[in-house]
Every structure is written in structure tokens, then in C-alpha cells.
């Protein structure tokens, strides 16, 4: 096995609002180095770094909007996120939990701060990823996976180093909670100060870290700090993370989907003709109904 070296350590881009409830730094595809193709199958990453929202009588968020051709994965670190979709799914996720929605053939969706969190306000921190689907699955049936703390496997590291929460993929032979259409690894490394964790993914997989909390040293050499994004080269398999203080690191790695990408707003397809069809289907009400 050989070392997976760092290509870039990227500071968070300037934040912007999605709706009125998500103050996000768009790492994928806005930041340098991070095109949709470069990070495939991860085609979007919005990171709501820790931000204190004041109390609000009306929950802040994003109103009804469509999706087709990919999956949305929302990971809550602080605060609570609620959602509804036109397939009849709904849920609330709190700290350490995940919403994994497969839009696929088409769905209407809305997401917003959970009602009680809105009333009290407080720190809010989350990640939303868009995970592309291969052409053969883009028009499959929508589905929803609500992953609670109880059903996300956790690996305890030796020497009181910390834990690895396995949202998807596997770590040390333990399989993650989520079903994925292509090979995807998505894990939260929660490390105590001085704790170390080792990872191994195929060289061809696109691999990165998001430093959610704390500061870490990667491969015993380069330091990455809170809210930075670490992009690895496709040149090796193994890397290590050492926590310089208590840290939370989102680890993502996936097999790229080598297919054309055609996008327009909330639609991610393979051709322009498929985008036109998606817009027509949405306008004709084929994505269902949601208030």
C-alpha cells in the first residue's frame, strides 16, 4: 500500500444563504480544484459552519423545490433539520443523524429548521451533499433513509483515540448504515486530542476531508484547521489523521462515475435532452404534490 498525498487544503469560500435557514460555504463545485467531475460521485457540498440563529416563530429553511437524478445527504452536527417530500416521507434529524434522500426519477422536497429549535434558536451546523446516480439508476423510484444515532454503526478506536461513525461504506470491516448505488464511503471521525485514525481507500476513488471541529494533522505532516477542506490526490490508498485537539472530521471517498454530467438547477442528468424532459415532467406535475 502507498500513501495518499494531499493535493490541496482549501479555506471555506465566502458564505451565502440557501433559503433563509442555511448559511453555507459551497465547497463543491465552487471552490478551487473541486469541480463536479473532480469529486464525482460527490457533485455538491454545502457546509453550514457553526452559526447561531436567533429564535424565530416561523421556521427558517427552503420551500418546496424539485430534484431529479441524484441523492441529497444531510448530516446534522448542531441543531435540528426537518423535511417533507412528495413521496410521503418526512422526518427530523438531530445532532449526529442523517437524512439520505434518493430523488432519482423526481421528487418535491422542502427542508427547514425543526419547530422547537426555531423557537429557541441556537448553534446550527450541517453538511449537505449531492451524490450523483449512474445513468441506469437516475429514473429509479425515489426513496428515503432516515439514519438515527441508533442505526449508525460506531467503531471504537484503540488507545482511547476516539470513534468512527460509519454512515456509508465500511471501516475495519464494519459496514455503514446507508444503502448506496455506487461505492461511497462517508464517515465521521470523532477523535480525542492526540488520537489517531488510519484510513485506506482505492487510489482511483476521489477522497477528501472536511474539518468540522478542531485541528488535525494529516499523514503526520500537514495541518488542517476548523472549516477547511482537504483534497487528496489519486496517487495512493492510505492516510492518517491525528487530532491536535478534540476534533470531528467528515471523511468522504467514492468511486467516480465516468459518465457525462448535464445540470440545470436541481436536475442532474447525462444529456441536455434529459434536462428538458425533467423540466417538462416537473411542469406537468409528474413529481407529485407538496404544500
Handedness of CA 253, 259, 264, 268 (dihedral sign): negative
Phi and psi at residue 260, to the nearest 5°: -60, 150
Residues 71, 138: Cα–Cα separation, whole Å: 10
Instruction: Please report the pLDDT score of residue 82 as a whole number.
Output: 94
Which CATH number describes the domain made up of 6-254? 2.60.120.10
Q: For position 31, what pLDDT does the model report?
A: 84
**What is the per-residue pLDDT for 57?**
94
23-55 burial, b if ≥16 CB within 10 A, otherwise e? bbbbbbbebeebebebbbbbbbbbbbbebebee
| pLDDT at residue 290, rounded to an integer | 92
Q: What is the pLDDT of residue 79?
A: 97
At residue 202, the pLDDT reads: 97
Low-confidence ranges of the chain (pLDDT < 50): none
The answer to whether 208 touches 39, Cβ cutoff 8 Å, is yes
**Cα gap 258→203, rounded to integer Å:** 15
Q: What are the grid coordinates assigned to 277, written together?
A: 424532459
Q: Residue 53 has what pLDDT?
A: 97
SS (H, E, C) the chain: CCECCEEEEECCCCCEEECCCEEEEEEECCCCCCCCCCCCCEEEEEEEEEEEECCCCCCCEEEEEEEECEEEEEEEEECCEEEEECCCCEEEECCCCEEEEECCCCEEEEEEECHHHHHHCEEEEEEEEEEECCHHHCCCCCEEEEECHHHCCEEECHHHCEEEEEEECEECCEECCCCCCCCEEEEEEEECCCCEEEEECCCCCEEEEEEEECCEEECCCEEECCCCEEEECCCCCEEEEEECCCEEEEEEEECCCCCCCEEECCEEECCHHHHHHHHHHHHCCCCCCCC
pLDDT value at position 240? 98
pLDDT given at position 32: 79
Question: pLDDT tens-digit profile of 201-243?
Answer: 999 999 999 999 999 999 999 999 999 999 999 999 999 999 9
Give the C-alpha separation, 192 to 152, whole Å. 20
Amino acid at each position: 500500500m502507498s500513501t495518499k498525498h494531499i493535493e490541496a487544503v482549501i479555506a471555506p469560500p465566502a458564505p451565502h444563504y440557501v433559503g433563509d435557514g442555511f448559511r453555507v460555504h459551497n465547497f463543491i463545485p465552487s471552490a478551487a480544484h473541486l469541480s463536479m467531475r473532480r469529486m464525482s460521485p460527490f457533485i455538491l457540498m454545502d457546509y453550514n459552519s457553526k452559526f447561531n440563529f436567533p429564535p424565530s416563530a416561523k421556521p427558517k429553511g427552503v420551500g418546496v423545490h424539485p430534484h431529479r437524478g441524484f441523492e441529497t445527504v444531510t448530516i446534522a452536527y448542531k441543531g435540528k433539520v426537518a423535511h417533507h417530500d412528495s413521496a410521503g416521507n418526512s422526518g427530523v434529524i438531530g445532532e449526529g443523524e442523517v437524512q439520505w434522500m434518493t430523488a432519482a426519477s423526481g421528487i418535491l422536497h422542502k427542508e427547514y429548521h425543526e419547530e422547537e429549535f426555531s423557537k429557541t434558536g441556537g448553534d446550527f451546523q450541517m453538511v449537505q451533499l449531492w451524490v450523483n446516480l449512474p445513468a441506469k439508476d437516475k429514473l429509479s423510484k425515489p426513496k428515503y433513509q432516515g439514519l438515527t444515532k441508533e442505526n449508525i454503526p460506531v467503531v471504537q478506536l484503540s488507545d482511547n483515540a476516539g470513534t468512527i461513525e460509519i454512515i456509508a461504506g465500511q471501516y475495519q470491516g464494519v459496514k455503514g448504515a446507508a444503502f448506496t448505488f455506487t461505492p461511497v464511503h462517508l464517515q465521521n471521525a470523532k477523535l480525542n486530542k492526540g488520537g489517531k485514525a488510519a484510513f485506506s481507500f482505492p487510489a482511483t476513488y476521489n477522497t477528501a476531508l472536511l474539518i468540522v471541529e478542531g485541528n488535525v494533522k494529516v499523514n503526520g505532516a500537514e495541518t488542517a484547521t476548523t472549516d477547511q477542506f482537504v483534497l487528496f490526490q489519486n496517487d495512493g490508498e492510505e492516510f492518517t489523521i491525528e487530532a491536535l485537539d478534540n476534533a470531528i472530521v467528515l471523511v468522504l471517498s467514492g468511486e467516480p462515475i465516468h459518465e457525462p454530467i448535464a445540470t440545470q438547477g436541481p436536475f442532474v442528468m447525462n444529456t441536455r435532452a434529459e434536462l428538458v424532459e425533467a423540466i417538462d415532467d416537473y411542469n406537468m406535475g409528474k413529481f407529485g404534490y407538496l404544500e
